[in-house]
Each structure stands twice: as C-alpha cells, then as structure tokens.
Amino acid sequence: MAGTSTPTPEAFPGIPKIRFEGPTTKNMLAFRHYNADALVEGRPMRDHLRFAVAYWHTFRGTGSDPFGAPTMLRPWETHGNVLTAAMDRVEVAFEFMEKLGVGFYCFHDRDVAPEGNTLSESHSHLDAVTESLKRHQDASGIQLLWGTANLFSNPRYVHGAATSPQADVFAYAAAQVKKALDVTHRLGGAGYVFWGGREGYQCLWNTDMKREVDHLAKFMHMAVDYAKEIGFTGQFYFEPKPREPTKHQYDFDCATCINFLRTYGLEKHVKMNIETNHATLAGHEMQHELEYAGMQGFLGSIDANTGDPLVGWDTDQFPTNIYLTTQIMYTILKYGGLAPGGVNFDAKVRRESFEPVDLFYAHIGGMDAFARGLTIAAAMRADGAIQKLLEERYASWSSPLGKRIESGSETFRSLEKEMLVKGEADACRSGRQELFENVINTYF
Ligand code: XLS
Ligand code: NI
Ligand code: NI
C-alpha cells in the first residue's frame, strides 16, 4: 500500500528474549549462569564481561570451507540487491542481539556494507548502512565495542595491505581505514582493532621484512594521527596471530606485538586484543598471552573462542570449557578488568550447525561459560588459597636479602661476598604443581 512500509518480519520467530533462569532450568534457550545484573566483586556481570557479537561470523558466515559450499540456512538472505540485503541484515542483527541481551557488537567495514565498484561507491554504501546502524544502536542501547577494516579479502591485498610491496595498495588501505575510523567514530565505537590480515610473508627471499614492518608502523601512526584529528578517543588494539593466511604474520604473539609497538613509539596508543585460538596457534595458552600483556600494561580486549586440539587451524569455535574461561577471567580480574574492551565472540557455529537457532545455542553457551569462569575466578580470589600458595613459593623475596636485591641495593660483588661466606644457597623447596592444580579443582 502506498505510503506505508511493511514491517520487517521477525528473523527468529518463536525465539523469545533469552533470560537468566538459573542452573537448574530445563530450558536450553535460557542462561544458567549469566545473570547480567548479579554483582561479582561489587560490579554487575554485564560490566565485567561486556559481551560482543562478531558481525562477520554471526551474520556473514556461510559455512563454506575449503572443501565445500555454504550450508547456513539464513531465510532472511533473500535480496538480490546487495545494499538492500545489507540493510535487511541490520534488522536481523539487532533482533538477534536484543533477544540475546548483549551490550556490544564488532564489525569489519565490509561485513556491514558491500564493497562497491569504486572506492567512493564503497564509501557511500558504508555511509548508508552506518546511518541505519546508528538508528538501531540508539533505539536498543547496544553499542559498538570496536570497528575494523577488512584489508585481506579483496585481491588487491594479495601481498598484504600496509605491508604490500606496492605503494598504491598501502595508499588504498589508508583510505579504507580512514573511512572505517570515521564510521567507528560516528557510531561512538569504544575501540578500533588492527589485525594483520595478510601482513606477513610466504617467502623471505622475495620479502624486505624491515621495510614492510616499518611501513606497518607508519600506517598505524597515520591512524593514530587521524583519530586525534577527528576527535576519536576510542582505544586502539593490535590483535596477534602467528600464521594463517600467511606462513608468518608480523603480529605473531603478544611479546612480538608489544616489542613492535615500543620500537616504533606506538605504546601509548595501542593495547592488545587477544584471541584464544591465535594464542594456541602461537604455541601459547590464552592465559600466557593475557598474563604477558597484563604484566606489561597492554591488556585491552579479548576475542573469545577456542580451537580444536586435533585440527591445526583457527577453527574459531565457541568457548564452552569452564577451566579455560576461569583461567581467562582470573587473569583479567587480576589486571583490573577489560573496559573499555570486552569479550567479543570471534567464533562461528560449525558448518554442520546450520539452523538459525544454533546461533542462539552457541552464544548462550559461550556467555554461560564466561559467567561461570568469572564467578569461579572471583571465588578463588576471595578465599585467596592460590594467592597464599604463590606467596609462600616466593617468600624468600620478603627476607632481608630478597628485599635488598629487589630494591636494587645489591650488586654482583656484594652477592658474591655473601655467598662466599654462606657457601651454598638455601635448599630448594617443592614447586607443588599438583597441589596448586588440586586446589584449583576444588572450585569446580
Ligand atoms: C582472524 C581474526 C579477525 C580479527 C578481526 O583470524 O581473528 O577476525 O579479529 O579482523
Ligand atoms: Ni579475532
Ligand atoms: Ni581468528
């Protein structure tokens, strides 16, 4: 009928708003542990966890893999016109996020709006979708945790973006990130992420590594400068990943990234966005990466997912292992929390889980696993048993000698003198690893 617009039909009919029903509920479309308002260490769970939905996996994931075609049933993907389809998807995304009860989402520019035939057409697509995202954010209260740019899918980025051997590609990537920053700023984004994409190499013989890494730093400085120019005060993050798609990514792990940031004078502007599956690809535990970033003052945000121990790539599965989420939340609490960062589910439903309702099961499971990790970690901190064992292990550092060494008043000479008199160091004490592990299991 002329003059009236047809309301968009619900994308998830029959799925109500997901509520906290407690551990004994039989309803699998309910939270057992995530109770947004419940206080943990004096703050609501929602503020500790700051859950975000990843637009790329949840609304753009098709289920295709190197061996097979898309499998996902997404009844709302009906429009032939790419821009109209993108606009429809915004409705779906906000319906999903409101029903799920998450406070945040994250996207790459090309997830939300289709790339056009020219840069200016891509810009205008993005502008159009941004206005719709803004309206939906305002109406729902859902916020943008961070934005980013896809600098890896288009063939122009075959050799990388900021680290491409071709200056024109660097320039194009700069134009794309400038726009992505404009959009993130317009949407009040709390952060902006750099993940390397294809910033790395396949072969060192054809690569000038020094030049490429210098260019990456130049690129990040330009982003920081531009953010200042437009008044974007969100947090910048660097997301480590050791390989995939290249055999070596320059953002290998936290230690590598932090060294890069300090070398190039970016340490005041950029923190880490740490992803579980990337940590394991680097041969680390997530806890290691969090601890390393935390102790250096670079802990920013996390991409929550998990890999499969028998599949050697970034499978981006939803996290359900409570031991893992406890390790994560224990370390995060130790370093004072994530805000303005959060817990972004950089995770996708399995190719075999192709129905829309699976998106709910996946996120509910991840949120509950993190809520349990949070409460267990808080209980561990409250009774202090692990902390006490740790202090006992390091007790000698509170002795007069330990204090003098830590305060810098001892030297090699003075210590040699002391040990020549003493003749031998005190006997070593047991590390008690099994005891620590047993104590941790008492909380589960
Ligand atoms: C890919 C990365 C990517 C970043 C955002 O492995 O995890 O999704 O999080 O560009
Ligand atoms: Ni990620
Ligand atoms: Ni990943």
Boundary (domain end) residue, out of 367, 383, 399: 383
Residue whose Cα lies nearest atom 8 of ligand 1: it is 346
Residue 18 lies in a domain: no
Question: Which residue in the list 109, 111, 303, 368 is annotated as catalytic?
Answer: 111
Q: What is the distance between the alpha carbons of residues 349 and 346, in angstroms, rounded to a whole number?
A: 11
| CATH code, 320 | 3.20.20.150
What percent of the chain is modeled with pLDDT above 90? 97
Looking at residue 5, its pLDDT comes to 45
Regarding whether 302 and 172 lie in a shared domain, the answer is yes
Regarding whether 299 and 200 lie in a shared domain, the answer is yes
What percent of the chain is modeled with pLDDT above 70? 98
Known active-site residue 251: no
Range of the domain at 400: 387-441
Residue 245 lies in a domain: yes
Q: Is residue 182 within 6 Å of ligand 1 at its C-beta?
A: no
Looking at residue 434, its pLDDT comes to 98
Residue whose Cα lies nearest atom 6 of ligand 1: it is 314
Give the confidence band of 3 by pLDDT, cuts at 50, 70, 90: very low
Residue 8 lies in a domain: no
The total number of structural domains that make up the chain? 2
Residue 32 lies in a domain: no
DSSP E strands in 256-375: the ranges are 270-275, 299-303, 343-345
Q: Is residue 239 within 6 Å of ligand 1 at its C-beta?
A: yes
346-372 b/e with 16+ CB inside 10 Å = b?
bbbbebebeebebbbebbbbbbbbbbb
Residue 139 lies in a domain: yes
Regarding whether 220 and 352 lie in a shared domain, the answer is yes
Give residue 315 CA to ligand 3 midpoint distance, Å: 8
The ligand 1 atom nearest the CA atom of 195: 10
The ligand 1 atom nearest the CA atom of 108: 10
Regarding whether 145 and 89 lie in a shared domain, the answer is yes
Known active-site residue 363: no
Token pair for residue 110? 């090309």
Residue 11 lies in a domain: no
> What's the mean per-residue pLDDT of the chain?
97
In the numeric block, the tokens 């992420």 are attached to 193
Looking at residue 7, its pLDDT comes to 54
3-state secondary structure of 104: strand
The model's pLDDT over 180-196, given as tens digits with 9 standing for 90+, comes to: 999 999 999 999 999 99
Give residue 228 CA to ligand 2 midpoint distance, Å: 25
Q: Kindly report the pTM of this predicted structure.
A: 0.97
Give residue 145 CA to ligand 2 midpoint distance, Å: 13
Boundary (domain end) residue, out of 345, 360, 383: 383
Give residue 343 CA to ligand 3 midpoint distance, Å: 14
The model's pLDDT over 295-349, given as tens digits with 9 standing for 90+, comes to: 999 999 999 999 999 998 999 999 999 999 999 999 999 999 999 999 999 999 9
In the numeric block, the tokens 């061996």 are attached to 67
Element (H, E) at 225: helix 209-230
Residue 321 lies in a domain: yes
Regarding whether 225 and 296 lie in a shared domain, the answer is yes
The model's pLDDT over 355-380, given as tens digits with 9 standing for 90+, comes to: 999 999 999 999 999 999 999 999 99
Residue 402 lies in a domain: yes
Boundary (domain end) residue, out of 383, 407, 433: 383
Residue whose Cα lies nearest atom 10 of ligand 1: it is 195
Regarding whether 393 and 359 lie in a shared domain, the answer is no
Give the confidence band of 385 by pLDDT, cuts at 50, 70, 90: very high
- Write out the DSSP string of 345-365: E-----TT--SHHHHHHHHHH
Regarding whether 429 and 328 lie in a shared domain, the answer is no
Regarding whether 419 and 313 lie in a shared domain, the answer is no
Ligand number nearest CA of 279 is 3
